[in-house]
């Protein structure tokens, strides 16, 4: 093993600023698994010590988009505070994109083509453009988590003084070329739902208050049937 190879691997192995983040943000607050969310809020979730490479690839793509997108009135990587959990503190995050003129939240995800197809076929809208999610429990779990994440970003942009109307989940395939990305990408556009965001925040608040007072009984909380961590890593 050469010295330069060893140095490169050591650098790559260092946790990123996102990995070192200790407080839960909007991306985790919508976790439908009560037990996992409680553990994350308490900082005792065992998976927190593992840092998969896939999110780093997604972060790199976010940086690429930040550099190439130059739309007028389009805010990129905006820090927002969505609310506060008693005895825990502020819940803050970064909104990928926001079009000021139309009040449109944009959140990017870099996924496999297979996952994008599953998401696109799992979402239906009623006559009021309200989402109804259909699919196996694991797909639904992840999709609803993304949905709530966007609604929380909307709440954060409202808190910052902006009018919010829509939230789009823009899905980019990681297994394609730059030339084919337009044909292979997919958008799921939702109406902004302030009530949904507030409900997620209140649920997290209730879970944390109970968990903080019952640390020795976290295992009594429900594990979601679609939770991959609870199904395969406990």
Instruction: Show the domain range for 36.
Output: 12-232
Residue 205: inside a domain: yes
DSSP for residue 218:
G
**Does residue 2 sit within a domain?**
no
| Mean local confidence (pLDDT), 44-55 | 66
Question: How many domains would you assign to the chain?
Answer: 1
Query: Quick check: is 107 in a domain?
Result: yes
- pTM for this model (two decimals): 0.85
* Lowest-pLDDT choice from 63-72, 75-84, 92-101, 141-150: 63-72
User: pLDDT tens digits for 131-169?
Assistant: 777 766 788 888 999 999 999 999 999 999 999 999 999
CATH number of the domain to which 156 belongs: 3.90.320.10
H helix or E strand, kind and range, residue 219? none
Phi and psi at 95, nearest 5°, equal: -80, 125
**Gap between the Cα atoms of 121 and 123, Å rounded:** 6
Cα–Cα–Cα angle for 177, 120, 92, nearest 5°? Answer: 85
Name residues whose C-beta falls within 8 Å of residue 6's C-beta, 6 or more positions apart in sequence.
Answer: none
Percentage of the chain modeled with pLDDT above 70:
85
* 1 located within any domain: no
Tell whether 7 is covered by a domain: no
Residues 6+ apart with CB under 8 A from 146: 30, 107, 109, 169
Tell me: the pLDDT tens digits for 93-138?
999 999 999 999 999 999 988 889 888 887 777 766 677 777 667 8
Q: Is residue 5 part of a domain?
A: no
Please report whether residue 4 resides in a domain.
Answer: no
What gap in Å lies between CA 116 and CA 75, rounded to an integer? 25
């Amino acid at each position: 093993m050469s010295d330069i190879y060893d140095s490169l691997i050591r650098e790559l192995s260092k946790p990123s600023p996102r990995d070192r983040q200790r407080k839960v943000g909007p991306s985790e607050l919508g976790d439908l698994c009560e037990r996992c969310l409680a553990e994350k809020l308490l900082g005792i979730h065992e998976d927190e010590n593992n840092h998969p490479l896939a999110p780093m690839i997604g972060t790199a793509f976010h940086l690429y988009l930040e550099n190439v997108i130059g739309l007028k009135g389009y805010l990129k990587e905006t820090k927002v505070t969505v609310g506060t959990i008693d005895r825990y503190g502020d819940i803050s995050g970064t909104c990928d994109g926001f079009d000021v003129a139309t009040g449109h939240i944009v959140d990017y995800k870099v996924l496999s083509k297979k996952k994008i197809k599953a998401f696109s076929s799992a979402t239906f809208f009623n006559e009021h453009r309200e989402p109804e999610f259909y699919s196996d429990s694991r797909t639904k779990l992840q999709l609803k988590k993304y949905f709530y994440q966007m609604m929380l970003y909307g709440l954060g942009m409202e808190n910052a003084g902006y009018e919010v109307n829509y939230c789009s989940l823009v899905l980019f395939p990681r297994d394609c070329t730059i030339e084919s990305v337009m044909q292979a990408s997919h958008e799921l556009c939702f109406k902004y739902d302030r009530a949904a965001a507030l409900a997620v925040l209140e649920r997290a608040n209730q879970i944390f208050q109970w968990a903080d007072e019952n640390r020795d009984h976290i295992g009594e909380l429900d594990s979601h049937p679609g939770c991959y961590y609870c199904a395969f890593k406990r």
